[in-house]
């Protein structure tokens, strides 16, 4: 079974090389063969890491990396189609991510020791999220970037890792109090304020990100992640109702007070009211899905370039146009398979702390994919987050492989 994972990884390599070959043979753009050494380097690095994983020293799971490389292969091919200048940088970030994955597995025991310092993790989470609030630069309508010379870093991508670790440590340590103790408020049972305060702080930070940074995607991801992990740890529906009430109240107040919030929701409700203005991206995204149909127009035969920022937020729309419903369904099924493998790892963990970490990371990836896919299809208001391992972005790629490394380390039976 372990060797079969190499066959699956070989299929991923075939997708990457065949996709790039199609683009090069069509001379789209001008045949730039300099991308091939980087593609071969990424494939070699992936096979090297997979062989390392097969040895079973740090993990017992050998299926997650091939699934991730499927996403990465699709992403690189689509970037070669949409914005070729970013193809080599994405391959470079992919190789860096694979190296980071090995480093995380090597130091996985040290990472587990950090769980003893839950409040330090909580403080670090807030500090990382506040970095973009205080020093952030607005790019693409959201003030969630730090510009460090030639590099652009998105702190929320790394803050999500700290959030999962903090919530897992805090909830596993206080689960009994959060489950049983507290006063009854109508039909809800609440613990003392000092125990629920960290959760309220995280929820409040999510609302603040939504209002101040105009970052609906990260805010929704952080908020839902906190609610899911709290429910997984306690099994109490009270926290879900409180969180939803908290979020609805914050969203209502934000809608009344802030113009950019009203614009975002109005676009979601009726994009055809301003199809050439504020709603242009959403409208073009819907046109792309309609043009793709079931089978798609074919790689390099569509017009996804009509969508602004198609290589980041709207790359799923480009996939829908050129690979059709078949390609979109394959990607969504792969995300579902990744989630299934992650939850299987969580259920096999012997300690509740490790179970919450594995489940939190799995839910995080699945939520992120759901939120952005729902946004570009107008199921939810448009959000500015990346499609995991597919959209362009160094911060997203590196943080994704860090979380993958932590998840794989949870699969080691100890």
Tell me the pLDDT tens digit for each residue of 329-355.
999 999 999 999 999 999 999 899 999
Task: Please report, rounded to a whole number, the percentage of residues in the chain having pLDDT higher than 90.
Answer: 42
Task: Please count the structural domains in the chain.
Answer: 1
- pLDDT attached to residue 101: 96
**Which residues constitute the domain of residue 167?**
115-410
Q: 8-12, 24-28, 302-306, 316-320: which has the minimum mean pLDDT?
A: 24-28
pLDDT tens-digit series, residues 359-389:
999 999 999 999 999 989 988 887 778 899 9
Distance CA 359, CA 355 (A): 6
User: Is the model's pLDDT at 398 over the cut of 50?
Assistant: yes
Domain annotation covers residue 95? no
Domain annotation covers residue 138? yes
pLDDT tens-digit series, residues 169-226:
988 888 777 766 556 655 566 666 666 777 777 777 766 766 666 677 777 888 889 8
Domain annotation covers residue 229? yes
Domain annotation covers residue 186? yes
Burial environment of residue 131 by CB neighbours within 10 A (0 to 12, 13 to 18, 19 or more): middle
* Alpha carbons within 13 A on the beta-carbon side of 47: 12
pLDDT tens-digit series, residues 228-265:
998 898 887 877 887 888 778 877 887 787 777 788 88
Distance CA 364, CA 312 (A): 18
Domain annotation covers residue 328? yes
What value does the mean pLDDT of the chain take?
86
Q: Which one is predicted more confidently, 405 or 57?
A: 405
pLDDT tens-digit series, residues 262-309:
888 888 888 888 888 888 888 999 999 999 999 999 888 888 888 887
Domain annotation covers residue 211? yes
- Inter-CA distances, 315 with 151, 306, 398, Å: 22, 12, 19
- The answer to whether the beta carbons of residues 229 and 356 sit under 8 Å apart is yes
pLDDT level of residue 75 (50, 70, 90 thresholds): very high
Copy the structure tokens of residue 203: 């929820």
Strand blocks (E) in 210-307 = none
Domain annotation covers residue 76? no
Copy the structure tokens of residue 23: 């683009």
- pLDDT attached to residue 245: 82
pLDDT level of residue 414 (50, 70, 90 thresholds): low
- The answer to whether the beta carbons of residues 280 and 317 sit under 8 Å apart is no
The one-character DSSP state at 389 is: T
- pLDDT attached to residue 189: 64
Domain annotation covers residue 281? yes
């Amino acid at each position: 079974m372990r060797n079969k994972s190499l066959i699956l990884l070989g299929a991923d390599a075939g997708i990457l090389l065949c996709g790039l070959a199609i683009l090069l043979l069509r001379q789209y753009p001008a045949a730039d063969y300099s991308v091939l050494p980087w593609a071969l380097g990424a494939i070699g690095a992936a096979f090297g890491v997979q062989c390392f994983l097969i040895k079973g020293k740090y993990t017992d799971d050998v299926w997650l990396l091939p699934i991730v490389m499927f996403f990465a292969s699709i992403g690189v091919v689509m970037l070669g189609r949409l914005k070729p200048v970013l193809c080599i940088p994405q391959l470079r970030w992919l190789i860096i991510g694979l190296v980071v994955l090995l480093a995380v597995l090597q130091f996985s025991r040290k990472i587990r020791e950090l769980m003893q310092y839950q409040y330090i993790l909580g403080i670090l989470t807030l500090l990382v999220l506040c970095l973009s609030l205080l020093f952030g630069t607005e790019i693409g309508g959201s003030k969630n970037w730090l510009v460090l010379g030639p590099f652009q870093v998105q702190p929320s991508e790394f803050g999500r890792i700290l959030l999962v670790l903090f919530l897992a440590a805090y909830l596993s340590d206080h689960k009994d109090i959060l489950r049983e103790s507290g006063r009854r408020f109508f039909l809800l049972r609440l613990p003392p304020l000092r125990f629920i305060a960290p959760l309220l702080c995280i929820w409040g930070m999510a609302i603040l990100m939504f209002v101040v940074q105009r970052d609906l995607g990260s805010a929704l991801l952080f908020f839902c992640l906190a609610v899911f992990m709290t429910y997984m740890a306690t099994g109490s529906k009270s926290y879900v109702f409180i969180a939803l009430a908290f979020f609805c109240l914050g969203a209502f107040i934000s809608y009344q007070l802030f113009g950019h919030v009203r614009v975002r929701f109005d676009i979601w409700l009726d994009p055809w009211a301003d199809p050439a203005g504020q709603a242009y991206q959403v409208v073009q995204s819907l046109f792309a899905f309609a043009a793709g149909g079931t089978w798609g127009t074919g790689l390099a035969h569509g017009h996804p370039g009509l969508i602004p920022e198609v290589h980041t937020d709207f790359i799923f729309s480009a996939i829908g146009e050129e690979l059709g419903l078949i390609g979109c369904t394959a990607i969504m099924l792969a995300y579902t398979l990744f989630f299934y493998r992650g939850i299987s790892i969580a259920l096999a963990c012997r300690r509740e702390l490790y179970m919450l970490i594995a489940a939190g990371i799995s839910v995080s990836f699945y939520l992120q994919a759901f939120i952005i896919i729902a946004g570009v299809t107008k199921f939810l208001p448009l959000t500015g987050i990346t499609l995991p391992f597919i959209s362009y972005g160094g911060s997203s790629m590196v943080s994704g492989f860090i979380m993958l490394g932590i998840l794989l380390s949870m699969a080691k039976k100890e």
